[in-house]
């Protein structure tokens, strides 16, 4: 069955119930949220009564909590040694929050090496992940996101992600989130998705893919830009995205839209119904 949803809001006053209601209003059967604003570290305490209500709403509407995704804030940068303590502390707290929400997956941007070079960046990320996971007793899996390679982003190739995973002791706590816009911008030709997946499978192993961010791209293959476009409106195109969304080997993996708002309005209801029309 197609598991499709989008990024939704999570606000203190409407809580997780509000997030689930937003997802349902789009015709989604999963969703992704941030536990607070992605650009800052202000996090309010979790209202367990709200979580309970959200779960009963999810149950009533066949939303599987194990397919719901949490996204870590952008300000965590495990590759930057100057932010090491802050990033580790915040990631540890975030893992606990995800567990309190009862979710299983936290998507994380591996980090940016801020001019220190990919190798140094990768070794900092490994050090940070080992430190965080050694001191963590949640069951949350961190999904390293494939990045566009904008600026000094680490994780723009399967090989880079593989080196990170190899360096982490608790490998079972790591998975991967593919992002179609990022893959395109990193130089992976998605029109030949069989080849992309077979290369991923050789380097990392297809079983590690636990989430796919479905976005079109405003920029051409290999542009290293990371600007998301609405489904079918960008350089990747509708046919290629539909092929990925319905790709048999990834059929149990949740697909999450992070496409831009149009005139201040979320495009997800229309995009999800467009996607479902190819079922």
Q: Which of residues 96-155 bind Fe ion (CB under 5 A)?
A: 145
For Cα atoms 75, 81, 84, give the angle at the middle one, nearest 5 degrees: 55
Q: Which does 213 bind (CB under 5 to 8 A by kind): Zn ion, Fe ion, none?
A: Fe ion
Binding flag, residue 179, Fe ion (CB under 5 A): yes
CB of 137 to Zn ion, least distance (A): 31
Of 17 and 209, which CB lies nearer to Fe ion in the complex structure? Answer: 209
CB 20, CB 58: distance < 8 Å? yes
| Burial class for 188, CB neighbours closer than 10 Å (0-12, 13-18, 19+) | buried
Q: Which does 97 bind (CB under 5 to 8 A by kind): Zn ion, Fe ion, none?
A: none
Q: Which does 113 bind (CB under 5 to 8 A by kind): Fe ion, Zn ion, none?
A: none
Of 163 and 257, which CB lies nearer to Zn ion in the complex structure? Answer: 257
Q: Which does 226 bind (CB under 5 to 8 A by kind): Fe ion, Zn ion, none?
A: Zn ion
Among 226, 230, 253, 272, binds Zn ion (CB under 5 A): 226
User: What whole-number distance in Å separates Cα of residue 190 and Cα of residue 227?
Assistant: 16
* Rg of the chain over all Cα atoms, to the nearest angstrom: 18
H helices of 4-83, where?
15-25, 48-60
CB of 256 to Fe ion, least distance (A): 8
CB of 155 to Zn ion, least distance (A): 12
Binding flag, residue 271, Zn ion (CB under 5 A): no
Of 153 and 179, which CB lies nearer to Fe ion in the complex structure? Answer: 179
Q: Which does 218 bind (CB under 5 to 8 A by kind): Zn ion, Fe ion, none?
A: none
SS3 state at 40: coil
Binding flag, residue 216, Zn ion (CB under 5 A): no
Residue 153: phi and psi, rounded to 5, are: -60, 135
Q: Is the dihedral of CA 257, 194, 182, 237 positive or negative?
A: negative
User: What whole-number distance in Å separates Cα of residue 144 and Cα of residue 184?
Assistant: 17
CB of 174 to Fe ion, least distance (A): 16
Q: Is the dihedral of CA 201, 204, 206, 210 positive or negative?
A: negative
Give me the count of residues in the chain: 279
H helices of 69-174, where?
84-101, 118-134, 158-167
Of 94 and 226, which CB lies nearer to Zn ion in the complex structure? Answer: 226
Among 83, 156, 213, 255, binds Fe ion (CB under 5 A): 213
Q: Which residues bind Zn ion (CB under 5 A)?
A: 226
Q: Which residues bind Fe ion (CB under 5 A)?
A: 145, 179, 213
């Amino acid at each position: 069955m197609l598991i499709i949803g989008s990024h939704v809001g999570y606000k203190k006053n409407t809580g997780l119930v509000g997030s689930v209601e937003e997802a349902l209003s789009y015709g989604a059967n999963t969703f992704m949220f941030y536990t607070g604003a992605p650009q800052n570290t202000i996090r309010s305490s979790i209202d367990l009564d709200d979580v309970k209500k959200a779960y009963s709403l999810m149950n009533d509407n066949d939303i599987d909590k194990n397919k719901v995704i949490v996204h870590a804030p952008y300000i965590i940068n495990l590759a930057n040694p100057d932010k090491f303590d802050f990033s580790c502390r915040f990631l540890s707290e975030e893992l606990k929050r995800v567990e309190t929400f009862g979710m299983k997956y936290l998507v994380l941007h591996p980090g940016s090496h801020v001019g220190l070079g990919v190798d140094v960046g990768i070794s900092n990320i490994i050090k940070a992940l080992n430190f965080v996971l050694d001191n963590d007793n949640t069951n949350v899996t961190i999904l390293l996101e494939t990045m566009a390679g904008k600026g000094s982003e680490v994780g723009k190739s399967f090989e880079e992600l593989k080196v990170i995973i190899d360096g982490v002791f608790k490998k079972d706590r790591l998975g991967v989130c593919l992002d179609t816009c990022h893959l395109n911008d990193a130089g992976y030709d998605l029109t030949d998705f069989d080849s992309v997946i077979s290369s991923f499978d050789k380097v990392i192993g297809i079983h590690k893919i636990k989430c796919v961010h479905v976005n079109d791209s405003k920029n051409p293959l290999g542009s290293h830009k990371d600007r998301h476009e609405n489904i079918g409106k960008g350089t990747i195109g509708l046919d290629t995205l539909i092929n990925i969304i319905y790709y048999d080997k990834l059929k149990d993996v949740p697909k999450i839209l992070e496409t831009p708002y149009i005139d201040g309005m979320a495009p997800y209801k229309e995009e999800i119904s467009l996607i479902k029309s190819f079922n």
